[in-house]
Each structure stands twice: as C-alpha cells, then as structure tokens.
Amino acid sequence: MEEQKTAEQKKAAADGYDHTFKAIYDKDIPWESDDVRGLLKLPKGVKVKVLNYDPVMKRLDMKQQFPPGYVEPAHTHTSWHSILVTKGRMCVAGKDLRPGDYVFGWDIPHGPYEYPDGCEVFIVYMGDATHIWEKDDLIQHKNIWNPETDEGKKGVETHIKKREEDVSVK
C-alpha cells in the first residue's frame, strides 16, 4: 500500500495541481480587503476569505463579503463563477436573492449586483477572476432595490453619496 501511495503522490505532483485535502475552520481564515490580493479588482469595500487557490488549475474558492449599500458594477471576466448566497441579500437580474439562492455567470456581461443590506457569499471561480468594468457605469448607476434594515439604509446613502462625489471630481 505504501508503494501505491508514493506512486499516486508522484502522479499528483507531476500534473502540477494542488491535490491537498483540506478541512478548514471558517474562524481560522481572516477577512482581508480584496485590494490586498488584487484578485477581483472590484470597487473598494469588498472583503474576501480565500479558502483555496490553485494557480495551475486557475480555481479560486472564497467567501466574499459586500457591505450594506455596495454596488458591484456590470462586468465581465474570463472565468466562470458559481455563487451561493450565505447571508444577507444579493439583488441581480430582477431577483432578490437570499441565503440558499444561487447565481452562475461566465464571460458575458452580467450585473450590476446590488447589496442593499450587505451580503456574504461562497463563490468558486474557474479562470481569471479579474473583473472588467467601467467606472462611469458605476458612477451613473441608479439603485433599484430598497434596503430593509437601518444599517442598509445608511449603507445605501453612503454609497450613493460616494458615487455623487466621484462625479463631481471627474
């Protein structure tokens, strides 16, 4: 059995993929700003917990946290993603998604996404997760979805004000 294990380990190492089995406690992975790793290139405010990253396979498993009022602009990327809402609200494509709801996207334009009360998701990217978006689209965005919490109301007001300030600076 030991010889077979060694042969399997050699095969795994030869293909370059990370074949490591992982069981991770959420509490052991700190939230960090997306700006730190620059994986997504979204407007400031998103926090991430990278659970697994295999640069050879181009697979990225992570949790993302969007603050109340955050708007993720319409965008594309050269990866596909599967998203499971775990907390809060994600509003996209005319749907008000809640915990347990699902989104799949690929290389065609999608969004904008609104997070009127904040949101946390588990997401898997396969490919380059860099988001390609236009600042003008974000600045000109008009919120559609209303927050349901006081924190959400403050967050939406803050994000709208920030976009208005960005217009005046232009």
Q: Give the SS3 label for residue 37.
A: helix
- Note whether residue 7 is domain-resident: no
Q: How confident is the model over 24-75, as pLDDT tens digits?
A: 999 999 999 987 778 888 888 999 999 999 988 899 999 999 999 999 999 9
pLDDT score at 2: 47
CATH of the domain at 59: 2.60.120.10
Domain total of the chain: 1
For residue 159, is it within any domain?
yes
For residue 78, what is the enclosing H or E element? none
* Most confidently predicted of 121-125, 129-133, 158-162: 121-125
Residue 147 inside a domain? The answer is: yes
The model's pLDDT over 18-29, given as tens digits with 9 standing for 90+, comes to 888 899 999 999
Using 50, 70 and 90 to split pLDDT, how confident is the model at 1?
A: very low
- pTM, two decimals, is 0.86
Classify the C-alpha dihedral 119-100-26-12 as positive or negative: negative
Task: Provide the Cα torsion 94, 98, 100, 106; round to 10°.
Answer: 40
- Is residue 64 situated within a structural domain? yes
Residue 33's domain spans which residues? 22-169
Q: How confident is the model at residue 127 (pLDDT cuts 50, 70, 90)?
A: very high
Which pLDDT band, with edges at 50, 70 and 90, does 94 fall under?
very high
Measured between alpha carbons, how far is residue 45 from residues 10, 21, 37, 39, 85 in Å?
42, 31, 13, 14, 18
